Each structure stands twice: as structure tokens, then as C-alpha cells.
Amino acid sequence: MADGTGRFDFDGHFGTLMRACRGEFRFRGRTESDVRQWQAPFRERLRAALGLPNVESDLAGFVPAAELLATEDMGSYARESWRVLTEPTVPLPCYLLRPKSAAGRLPLVLTPHGHGHPHVYVGLFRSPREEEQIREGERDVAVQAVEQGYLVIAPTTRAFGETRSPADAERDAVSSCRLQLMHDLLVGRTPIGDRVWDMSRLIDWAIAHQGADGERIAITGNSGGGTVSLFAAACDTRIAVAVPGCYFNTFAGSIGSIRHCDCNYVPGILRLGEMHDVAGLVAPRHFLAVAGRDDPIFPIAHTRAAFDRLAAIYQAASVSDRCELYVGDGGHRYYKERVWSFVAEAFTGRRAA
């Protein structure tokens, strides 16, 4: 595509390509039956795009193992440091927060983090500036969850922390996402697929060994953690509540038009559907999209347009009350105001007064 001068128009070219993608699994139904018939083949194709069948084939029969590294008394809860083997070659560090006051099988909340350090979600900081960011951005997501009485796993997102490459760790790069993407593509995988796999294996481990209630599982994280939250819930139907923060938007309006980390890209995703279609795979389970009114990388106009399309899927599934959009008054950060009441309502089936 050329502009008026005959020169190549980069943005125009790729905009044309994205608009030409009609989305094989764009939802066009009207009834609960339509939703069910649409979801099964779409979920299978989405999982294939993420590379999950390749992971499953490579790791057939694999059972996660775990090692407890340390336990700290935090007053109302214990903070445990673990390494969970989500693949034979991937010892994934994670924190497990266990409330002291609760008994029996506990609801489980997974809190994958975004493009920052894993320790932030459990309220740890390494500088006054980081402490301020946690407070101002309500980024201690795992602490918020355990204070609600939930069992919480705050995992290291693959390609961050101890799962960075040696070179990236040496120079203290935030992540190794680009290296992860390049190597994953060579073997038919994707970073998002790797991270969805990790969430599912952590659920296996938590149910089998940590007393998690398999009927009450939620996932929430911000930005890149929102990405993991959405795709994990779309692929793993054991997740009863999905709360992606500052991610839900459109692929064309954000991921495809604004500079993002390499880990966000799934080959051919627009040929399958838009982001609201992926989120539609969560129905009839509970879904809360959290957004910032002034988020520069996930424009609110596209978020609202995507939510209108998602709401139509939930209406067709006869569960309109299980799908919400909360917009915080600010930018790209976590907004907890509606999150924990929404999760509680989903777990109990009762609307808060």
C-alpha cells in the first residue's frame, strides 16, 4: 500500500491486513445453544494457536512437583516461597499465601503479574520508589486476595525473575520475553501458551496438595497479568472467575496498533477472532474487565467497544449478570475497588449489599 507520494505506508498496509481478517470464530449467534456450539471448536483452535497441544504432546504423563523454600509469618497469613516444576526443565518460583483464619478447602486465587518484578504482588519492594508504586497503583494484588480469606498463588510469569535468560538476569533486564517468543516459535509454542500451561499446572498442584477448592478458582492480574488471566480462563474451564486488569481491549486497537512487548503476539489470532471472542470463551463463568480511563496503551474507547461485543455473548448465554466492566479514574494500573466484591459474589452466588 502506498501513500499519496507512492511511498510504502507501513501502518496503512498492516491496517488493511487486519481489517481483512473476518475472524472464523467471530461470534454471530443468539442463543445458549449457539454459544456452546461455538465455544468447543473455537477453544480447540485457540489452544492450537497458543501451541498448547504441542506442549501436551511433549509432556504427556508429566506430573508437577514442588519444593518449599521458606515460610514467613505475616501476621494474619503465612507467606511461603516455592518452586513448582511446571515442566521437567521449568522450576517456576511462586509465593503461596495462606490465611491463618480459614479452614477446610479454600477458594484459590491466582495472581500472575505483568511486566515488573514478581515480588511486587506480595507487597515486597526493593526501593522507596517501588514501595510508592505498589501503594499508588494498588499492585499488592496477592496480599489483597489473601486478606479476603483466599488461598493465593502469586507465580513468577515465565520469562521473568529466575526464569530470565542468564544474560538478561546479569544486566537485570525486566524480562526475556523476546527470547522466549523467538525460541517458542521454533518449536511451535508461544509465550502466552507457556504461561497458560503454567497456570493450569499450578491449579493441579494447589488442588492436589494445598487444599484448594476446585470449584472456586479465580485469576486476576494487571497488564501482562491481565493477558494471562484472560487466556488462561478461556482455555481452562476450571477457572470460575476471570478478572483481567488493564488488558481487555481489541487486538486491532491496541496490540496491533500500539507498541507492546513481543510476548503479546499470537500467530494468526485475528484470523480466529477478536479479543472479545476470546473472552467469550469464559461464558457462562464470571468475567470482570478492569480498565483505566486514561490508559495510553489500552485505549478506553476500544475497551468499551470490545465490552459491548462481549456483553452480547453473555446475553446470548443468558448470564448477562456475570459480565461487567469497571473503569478506574486513572491510567495503566490495578484498580481493586470492584474486584474483590465481584469475586466474592461469584464464589457465593450472592450479590453484595
3-state SS assignment for residue 73: strand
Q: Quick check: is 229 in a domain?
A: yes
- Residues comprising the chain, all counted: 353
pLDDT band at 252 (very low <50, low <70, confident <90, very high): very high
Helix axes 32-50, 224-235, angle to 10 degrees: 120
Q: Quick check: is 172 in a domain?
A: yes
pLDDT at 103: 81
pLDDT at 352: 56
- Asked if 190 contacts 227 with a C-beta cutoff of 8 angstroms, the reply is no
pLDDT at 235: 98
* Residues 230-250, mean pLDDT to the nearest whole number: 98
pLDDT band at 323 (very low <50, low <70, confident <90, very high): very high
More confident residue, 102 or 241: 241
Q: Quick check: is 128 in a domain?
A: yes
pLDDT at 211: 95
Q: Quick check: is 5 in a domain?
A: no
Quote the CA–CA distance of 285 and 217 in Å, as a whole number: 11
First to last CA, the chain: 56
* Residues 235-258, mean pLDDT to the nearest whole number: 97
pLDDT at 3: 60
Phi, psi of 260 (to 5 degrees): -135, 165
Cis check: omega of the bond before 88, within 30 degrees of 0: no
* Residues 189-196, mean pLDDT to the nearest whole number: 98
pLDDT tens track for 156-188? 999 999 999 999 999 999 999 999 999 999 999
Nearest Cα to Cα of residue 173 among 116, 92, 225: 116
The grid coordinates of residue 326 equal: 469497571
Beta strands of the chain (E only): which ranges? 65-73, 77-87, 90-99, 106-110, 151-155, 212-222, 241-245, 286-292, 323-328
For residue 2, pLDDT beyond 60 = no
Q: Quick check: is 1 in a domain?
A: no
Quote the CA–CA distance of 93 and 180 in Å, as a whole number: 17
Determine how many CB atoms are found less than 10 A away from the CB of residue 73: 9
What's the CATH number where 298 sits? 3.40.50.1820
Q: How many CA atoms lie within 13 A of 246 on its CB side?
A: 26
Cβ-Cβ contacts under 8 Å for 347 (sequence gap 6 or more)? 107, 216, 218, 240, 241
Q: How many CA atoms lie within 13 A of 196 on its CB side?
A: 29
pLDDT at 125: 85
pLDDT tens track for 3-60? 667 899 999 999 999 999 989 999 999 999 999 999 999 999 999 999 999 999 999 9
Q: Quick check: is 4 in a domain?
A: no
For residue 353, pLDDT beyond 70 = no
pLDDT at 290: 98
pLDDT at 6: 83
Q: Quick check: is 296 in a domain?
A: yes
Q: Quick check: is 276 in a domain?
A: yes
Asked which of 12-21, 205-214, 287-296 is least confident by mean pLDDT, the reply is 12-21
Task: Indicate whether this model's pTM tops 0.85.
Answer: yes
The residue to which cell 504423563 is assigned? 61
Domains held by the chain: number? 1
For all residues of the chain together, what is the average pLDDT?
A: 95
pLDDT band at 102 (very low <50, low <70, confident <90, very high): confident
pLDDT at 225: 98
* Residues 280-308, mean pLDDT to the nearest whole number: 98
Domain that holds residue 91: 10-348
For residue 1, pLDDT beyond 70 = no
Nearest Cα to Cα of residue 233 among 322, 299, 348: 322
